[in-house]
Every structure is written in C-alpha cells, then in structure tokens.
Chains A and B, each alone.
Chain A
Amino acid sequence: MPARKQDVLDSIFYPHSVAVIGVTGSSDRVGYNLLQSIIHAGFQGRIYPVHPRLESLQGLPVYRSLEEIPEPVDLAVIGVNQLATLEVVEQCGRKGVKGVVCIAGGYKEMGEEGKALEERLVAAARQYEMEVVGPNTLGLINTRANLNVTFYPMQLPRGKVSFVTQSGGVGLTILHKAVDEGLGINKWVGVGNRSTLEISDYLEYLARDDSTAVIGVFVEGTDDARRLVQVAGEVARHKPVVFYKVGRSGAVSHAALTHTGSMAGSYQVYRQVLQQFGLLVVDSTLEMVAACKALAMAPIPRGNGVGVVTHTAGPSIVLLDEISLRGGVFPALAGSTMGRIKEVLGQNPPVVLKNPLDAAGQGMQAANLGPLMEAVLDDPCIDILVAVYCLHLNWRCPTVEILDARERSGKPVVALYISTGEKVKEERELLHSRDIPVYTTPEEAAWGVSALLHYALQRGGIRR
C-alpha cells in the first residue's frame, strides 16, 4: 500500500479531530445520531459539528462552515444527501481534510445517473488526495480510539478482532453477536460502494495494525476479486482472516454458453479460490463470530487432532460431525490414556471408552472431569480439547478443572457450556481472560475449533 494511503487510513481510524456535516437537532435524523455516536463512544479528540444556523448541539458549539473550524480536520463525516455530499466533499478538500465518510446512498448502486455522480465524488476526492469511506455506508468504528463514526450510537467492548463488511446491516449483526459472545472488537468498517478504498485496502491496513489480531470479512461481490484474494492470502500468512461470502443460491448472472461457464457461479468460484489462497471460508454470521472468537482467544494448536470430554453424548456427536466436515480428526486414544481414564471411571465403567470421551453420570461431577481432561490433553495425538458441560442448578461447571488442565498441558482448550450466555457470564469472563473461548451451542464450538485447525494446518501443523 502506498505510504500516502496508509497515512490517510491512519487519520481515518485515529483522527485528532472530526467534523460532522449534516447535524440537526432532531434525534429522528441521521445527522443527530452521527454526532451522538461520536460523543457517546467517548472520543477524546476534538469534535466539530457543522450547520449553517444552529448555535450548539448536544453540548458542543456548532460551526457555520468547515472554513470556520479553527484547526485542521483529519476526518469529516458527511450526513447530507447524495447531491449535497458532492459539494461538501469539495469543501473538505479545500479545508485539507484527509478522509471523508460519506453516509448517503444514491450513487453507483442506483444506475447510470448515480454512477456519474459517484465518478464526480471520486474525482473531487482524488483532486485533494482524500480517501472516501463509502459512499453508501454505515461508517466505521475504532474502539482503540473510542471512535464511532456511524449513525448507531453504541459502546462496544475493546478487543483484538476487526471486521470489514460490505453491508452495514451485516456489520451490525456480526458486532452484536460478537458482544453477546463476550468477544471484544477492535475496528469495523462498512465499505459501502468502495469508491476510493477497496476491501483489499482495508485488509492491508489491518494487516499492519498491531492491535488487530484477527480479521473477519463479509463480501457480497467486488470488481477486483483477484487482488482481494491475493492480498487476503498474503495477510493470512501471519494474521488469520475469515471470509463469509454470501450468494450460495445465486443464479449465474450472465448467459453461460459453455458448461464451464454455467457451473462457474461466482459463489463456488469465490469459495474455492479463497481456499486456494489458504483462507478460512465460513457460511454464516454465526460461524464468522464463532471462528473469529476462537482465533482471537485461543492459541493455534500444533495439529488437527481433537479430543472431547463430555458427560452427554449428543453434543459431542454434533461436534464430531461439524469438525470432521471441516478437516478435523478425532484420534483414537492411546493405551496409556485409557489407563488413566480407567483410574477415574473404574475398570468396567458403563460407558464406551473412546474419543469423544463420554463419562456419562460420573462426568456430571466437575471434580471427575478434571483428571479425564488432563488424561486426554496429555495424549500425544490430541492437539486441542473441547470440554463439554450442561449448566445445572445444583452442580457446578468444571471451570476450575478446565483452567488447571489447560495450565498443565499448555494445549488449547475450548469450552462448550450448554446454557444461555447470561447464566455463565462470570465463568465465561474468567475462562475468556485465560485464552479459553466458551460457547453455548455445539455448532458454534465446532466452528471455533475448526477455525483453529484450519490455521494450524495452513501453518504446517501436523495432519493426524
């Protein structure tokens, strides 16, 4: 990425000053909420609302124009309609603004007229060497800078995962689900119409962003998919990238004249080409969050051998199914491991001793699960453990045992606590703080584990 673009993106994500154009006094309007979002997220830089007549808004003095602002402006967020936006972008250029967020739609997504308008927008930005987020975007968030430049006022927990989405609504879906899962957010951007900044530009920026450890990308479709997969493949060599490409059901949009043409529906090509470049591809927003959560919290295992310790067989069968489909294996346990298991469960327990290990009745007591988890984790073919427990009113979850087992073995552990997220909140926070992601459904636990296995194998891990 050119140094100039990198600098401008820095100013966009870490601005010292933000101007908001199109503010109003009515909370029904986008402009009001743009300003409130910035204030509500606790932004520490200077905030300059701009309106030709208003005196003050939400406790801040209002400036009549960009020119009146007494200092340089790094980032301007523009909440006026698509025609007025063009004029404001010009003014931003003259003011020396580095980046603009253009919220309004009505550009190239609306046919020829809109396309011409967007070309003028891009020309104006280029003339002044500005970069445009959008147009037609919900905006962006950077929790590291207490920055929320969207019209959805909210406060998100800080974390290591950043998202780039081609839709504001899907962005919000992912962010809210991430918060429900106890996953902290680093940055989010809605790319909108990608007028001067492509998805690959944001990816390159996030690749160099030390506070981002994992990147999730939601794609509908792009013009330069070849560059996108090449950049993403390069980024994923040192920082996990998770892709969700929508459009599985999509009919081929051009009239295909060969069999190859008719079968090359863009989804299937997308999926396989992303995989060709070593990227993890997921099939839903839920899987996206589950995968990013595991990658952000747990270390990458040294191979793809999965062990499961449970007191209930069903969820472990779901785990087995979902993980096997995604390239994980469940190695048979070694004789020495079996010996240790029998020391806990007895020589002839009323359960079949195998991996996944279902301790049934005896496993309902957390104290019994501890030595079983330790035995399975010590098995030479096991690279990662899933500990399964169903929350109970009278019996405690094996949180202490999981922490001890994890500490002793050093291998990654994923917990499946079958419960509501709310009921295991405290235990979850404790486990999350110690690199152990906690899930509440077997599918999500499986997707998390599978994400770790994918990057284990991509990085030369042992294929069991």
Chain B
Amino acid sequence: MNVAEMLAAARSAGRRYLCEDEVKEILQRVGVPVTPCYLARSEEEAVARAIEVGYPVVLKVRSPLIAHKSDSGGVVLNLANGYQVRRAYRQIMDRVKGVDPEAAVTVQPMASPGREVIVGFTVDRQFGPVLMCGFGGIFAEVLGDVSFRLVPVEPDMARDMVRSLRGYRLLAGYRGIPPADEGALVDILVKVSGLAAAFPQIQEMDLNPVVVYERGALVLDARAVLAD
C-alpha cells in the first residue's frame, strides 16, 4: 500500500486520526528517522517484542480513538525486563479500557536523551499548509517558542526557521554543551514540508518530540489528523 492508499483506507474506515505506528511508517518512507514501533496485542506479544527491540523499552497505548496517549495514562517509559513490561501492559489496558476496549500497545526502544523540539504542519484555513518548528518537545505549548513558514519550505528557509527560535542557542551549543545536529533537523523539516505539500488529505501532523543529537535526530512520537 502506498501512502495515499493508506490514508484513503483510514478515511474510509471512518477514522479521524492516524496512529503513531502509521504516521511513523509514512515518515520512514520519506526518509525521516523514527524510533521503531512494534504492535502487540497481548502481554506475551509485548514481552516478545521487547526482547526483539532490546531493553529498556517504552510501552504506548495504540488506539485510533486516543490522540493524546500520555494524557490518558497510556505511556510507560523505561521498562527494564519482562516483569515490568507485563505490569505496564496491564496498567495501560486498565486505564484505557473505558475509552477503547480494543486498544493495543506498541513496544519501542527507550531513546537516549537529547535536545527536544517539535515539528509539525497544519492546513491553515487562510494560508493552506503551514510548517511549524518549535522548542521544547512535549513542553512546546507552554514555551510557545515556535516558528511558522508557508509550505513548501526549502533548506535555507528551514534553517532560518530553526535559527529564529528564541531557544536556538540551546541547539547551537551553550555552556560547554556541544552543538546539536542542526542539519538533521533541517532535513526533517524539509521532508515534512514535502509531506504537507503532497498529501492534502492530512489536516495536521505532529512529530513530538523530535530529539536532536550531536549527530542525527530521531522522531520519538508522532500523530496525524485526517482532513474532513
């Protein structure tokens, strides 16, 4: 299935959101680095996936009905062994069963820490697709340190977007902390701009957080909303 077919299938199933694993699949196809994301529908499956991925792992609820996983208690980080995975699986199922008894989980490797940003796009009512880059990952909304550009965004403009952030100095290197890989972030921005331009079927997309390392960057979580 190509991306357009994936989107059409989700839409015809009456869905409004794409789940994390689906968005990551799309991102991977255009060359955006993501943490792998394996589906599990039982405790046993979760443990098997965790062994494949290698500890420590993260468990996240996977449901087309749940857009904000953390808010519903659907994310458990840093699980070191099979016992913890099983317990986390049961906790998550317990918390979300009221919303979606059919929910599954995804098992993902625990990523190492880095500088967190948010990348996304939205189809603005007045402007059409607009790309966003912001500081602070999951705290982006609190910080409000974001920049917007009309899609399409070329590499020079993407760099300008990153550098216009108040928090740019944290990326550029600060107090002996070496600079983060700005080029890797710019590359993600340009590729997400490409997705926004190519797929008007997607109304909004969040890559959040995106962790920028000294070398490379990695999308840890993502979600998307389909257009009406």
Q: Which residues of A line the B interface, CB within 8 A?
A: 221-226, 229, 254, 256-264, 266, 268-270, 272-273, 276
Contact = CB atoms under 8 A, between A and B. Distances in A.
Contacts of B225: 257-258, 261
B223 A229 contact: no
A272 B149 contact: yes
A264 B130 CA distance: 8
A229 B150 contact: yes
Contact of B148 (A224, A225, A256, A269): A269
B16 to A, nearest CB: 8
B126 interface: yes
Interface string B104-131: 0000000000000010111011111010
A263 B126 contact: no
A263 B150 contact: no
B20 interface: no
Q: What's the interface size class on B, roughly?
A: 20 to 34
B128 A258 contact: no
If over half of A's interface residues share one DSSP class (helix, strand or loop), that class is named, otherwise mixed; here it is helix
A234 to B, nearest CB: 14
B144 interface: yes
A260 B150 contact: no
Given A260-B122, A261-B122, A264-B130, A273 B150 contact: yes
Interface stretch (B3-11, B77-85, B203-211): B203-211
Contact of A269 (B67, B124, B203): B124
16 contacts: A223-B126, A254-B125, A256-B204, A257-B225, A258-B122, A258-B206, A258-B223, A261-B204, A264-B130, A264-B148, A266-B126, A269-B126, A272-B147, A272-B148, A272-B149, A276-B149
B140 interface: yes
B132 interface: yes
B128 A260 contact: no
A226 B124 CA distance: 10
B124 A266 contact: yes
A175 B120 CA distance: 41
A259 B121 CA distance: 10
A277 to B, nearest CB: 8
A225 B206 contact: no
B184 interface: no
A259 B116 CA distance: 14
A263 B144 contact: yes
A257 B208 CA distance: 13
B130 A259 contact: no
A223 B124 CA distance: 10
A247 to B, nearest CB: 11
A113 B121 CA distance: 35
A261 B122 CA distance: 6
Given A258-B206, A259-B141, A259-B208, A268 B148 contact: yes
A263 B146 contact: yes
Most B C-beta atoms less than 10 A away, residue of A226, A257, A260? A260
Interface of B: 16-17, 67, 118, 120-122, 124-128, 130, 132, 134, 140-141, 144, 146-150, 157, 203-206, 208, 223-225
A276 B134 contact: no
Contacts, number: 82
Contact of A260 (B121, B125, B149, B157): B121
Contact of A273 (B118, B149, B224): B149
B118 A260 contact: yes
A210 to B, nearest CB: 30
B125 A266 contact: yes
B63 to A, nearest CB: 15
Nearest to B128: A226
Nearest to A263: B146
A9 to B, nearest CB: 24
Contacts of A268: 146, 148
Contacts of B140: 259, 263
A229 B122 CA distance: 18
Contacts of A260: 118, 120-122, 132, 204-206
Contacts of A276: 149-150, 157
A223 B128 CA distance: 10
Contacts of B120: 258-260
Given A264-B124, A273-B150, 18 more contacts: A221-B126, A225-B124, A226-B128, A254-B125, A258-B122, A259-B206, A260-B121, A260-B205, A261-B122, A261-B225, A263-B144, A263-B146, A266-B125, A269-B124, A269-B148, A270-B127, A272-B149, A273-B149
Nearest to B223: A258
Contacts of B134: 263
A263 B147 CA distance: 10
Most chain B CB atoms below 10 A, which of A225, A258, A261: A258
Given A259-B140, A260-B205, A225 B118 contact: no
B126 A222 contact: yes
Contacts of A222: 126
A152 B137 CA distance: 53
Nearest to A221: B126
A268 to B, nearest CB: 6
B127 A225 contact: yes
Nearest to A268: B148
B197 to A, nearest CB: 13
A41 B113 CA distance: 69
Contacts of B223: 258
A224 B125 CA distance: 9
A256 B124 CA distance: 11
A149 B165 CA distance: 46
B164 to A, nearest CB: 8
A266 B127 CA distance: 9
Contacts of A259: 118, 120, 140-141, 206, 208
A209 B146 CA distance: 38
B2 to A, nearest CB: 23
B141 A263 contact: yes
A419 to B, nearest CB: 38
